[in-house]
Amino acid sequence: MNYGHITVPQAEVPVSREVDVLVIGGGAAGIAAAISAAEGGASTMIVEQRGYLGGMGTVALVPAFCPYTDKVKPIIRGLGLKLMERMKQACDPGYQEEYREQLDWVPIDPEVLKRVYDNAVLESGVTPLFHTFVYDVVRSPDGQTIEGVMIVNKSGRSFIRCRYIIDCTGDGDIAALSGVPFQKGGGDGELQPGSMCYLLANVDRPRFSRFLAETGDTGQLHRTVEQAILEGALPEGRKSISGLAWVSDQLVGVNFGHVFGVDGTKAEDLTRGAIEGRRTVLRQLEFFRKYVPGFEQAHLVASGEQLGIRETRRIQGDYTLTVDDFVAARSFPDDIARNAYYIDIHLATSKSDMTFNHLPPGVSHGVPYRVMLPVGIRNLWVAGRSVSSDRAVQGSLRVMPNCFSMGQACGTAATLALRDGTDSRSISIPELQQRLLEQDVWLGENFVPGAAEQDAGQAQ
């Protein structure tokens, strides 16, 4: 419904901050971007609309980090691996012992992770600003440079001036506000569903493990879930639990079920998704208590502050990564990361199929720098799930380890642009790659910065 328009009076807005590099969004990509920029000597601020960092891993309670390896070796290294290891070391001794060597599907303790991220950004010299929302950008007269952003928070409205800006909102919000073209969802506008993740306490992991061993059901409880659907205890749709992440023998994070038809760029949809998601969690809790031994006394500790969102916008960048690039395990002369996570597209409706496409063990593809450069803007990078890719590849790139890698590359690139007084497209790619290698980023065995060709797939 259209309620008409009003004219807002012209007003002077104070400049609250001037920085070299401004990072918008405090998820995995934003944390890595901000730390990299600050450690590279740039005055850096990170703006986050919640009261803490972490994105989907803390806001939405996504229960585990996706894989850091290609099933043979770690390929996500650098800051992303360092931060996950810091979380492990800050957890309880039992947790440390169990997950010390694990690099794939490591459970997240969200309260520990919040503190780890706080400490990491402060140690690097980043200035965080929480409880703050960006509602507009100010561009140069030619429209090709962002001069800063308009923010609103409890202090009022103000303007942050910056030389460079990194969009880590996950939804490409800054790019969209700047007029960058984008795509959203599938050919008919369909979007992957969201999931309301949550934490359950007062569970009995040994009893649950015995149940799995005795029945031959899997950790994803395929047969148990199918039985519950047939008996009406669960709705049609997802026929397994994609994630039970055991923080301890009494505390487990859960990623289970879908909420359909939610566009994460619309507040009304996020509102409906949150309400429907919490109702879904209650139904799932009743399922666990009735059907799953070890969960009879399960207590819901917390559900996500918002629905976990898998996809919204994909910007138009200087290069669009395609499913052919993924399948062929291509490398590029401007690679800044490697990816081996499978293509993971969740069903758009309860009657749809899910899509999975895996690379062979030991094989990965390159992530070129150009996918993070939105067309038409000279001082903006985009990192995270909204980079320039087709929909299938977005289903692979969107996970937290990859977001760390892309954020680290953007933050490092911004320091090179700052040093040389140039724009995002004029930096030296070989120097960027060399800087990333020095930061323990893995770009392939025997990788040579700036090389025109790399061995396809980097299989070992």
**What's the confidence (pLDDT) of residue 30?**
98
Task: Give the residue with greater pLDDT, 425 vs 240.
Answer: 425
Q: Residue 439: is its pLDDT beyond 70? A: yes
Task: Give the residues across from 21 on adjacent strands.
Answer: 44, 164
Mean pLDDT confidence for 86-99: 98
- Confidence band (pLDDT; 50, 70, 90) for 346? confident
- Confidence band (pLDDT; 50, 70, 90) for 455? very low
Mean pLDDT confidence for 298-309: 97
Q: Kindly provide the residue ranges of all beta strands, DSSP E only, lying in 209-279, ordered along the sequence.
A: 243-248, 251-255
**What's the confidence (pLDDT) of residue 348?**
58
Beta carbons of 80 and 401 less than 8 angstroms apart = yes
User: Running DSSP on this structure, what letter comes out for residue 56?
Assistant: G
What is this structure's pTM?
A: 0.95
Q: Residue 118: is its pLDDT beyond 90? A: yes
Task: Give the residue with greater pLDDT, 223 vs 237.
Answer: 223
pLDDT tens digits, residue range 376-406?
999 999 999 999 999 999 999 999 999 999 9
- Provide the CATH number for the domain formed by 13-188+310-460 in this structure: 3.50.50.60
**What's the confidence (pLDDT) of residue 41?**
98
**What's the confidence (pLDDT) of residue 459?**
42
Query: What SS3 class is residue 61?
Result: coil
Beta carbons of 449 and 433 less than 8 angstroms apart = yes
**What's the confidence (pLDDT) of residue 243?**
77
Mean pLDDT confidence for 322-327: 95
Beta carbons of 339 and 409 less than 8 angstroms apart = no
For the chain, what is the mean pLDDT? 94
Query: Phi then psi for 31, rounded to 5 degrees?
Result: -60, -50
Nearest to 433 by CA among 453, 411, 409, 456: 409
Using DSSP bridges, classify how beta strands 127-129 and 156-167 pair: parallel, antiparallel or unpaired: unpaired
- What's at 97, amino acid-wise? E
Q: Residue 457: is its pLDDT beyond 50? A: no
Which positions ≥6 away from 247 have C-beta within 8 Å? 91, 95, 107, 108, 109, 199, 253
**What's the confidence (pLDDT) of residue 355?**
60
**What's the confidence (pLDDT) of residue 260?**
94
- Tokens representing 367 are 């992530």
- Tokens representing 350 are 């309860």
**What's the confidence (pLDDT) of residue 349?**
55
Can you give the residue ranges of every domain in the chain?
A: 13-188+310-460, 198-303
Number of H helices, E strands in the chain: 12, 19
- Tokens representing 138 are 């100010």
**What's the confidence (pLDDT) of residue 228?**
95
What is the rounded distance in angstroms from the CA atom of residue 451 to the CA atom of residue 460?
19
pLDDT tens digits, residue range 202-230?
999 999 999 999 999 998 899 999 999 99
pLDDT tens digits, residue range 329-345?
999 999 999 999 999 88
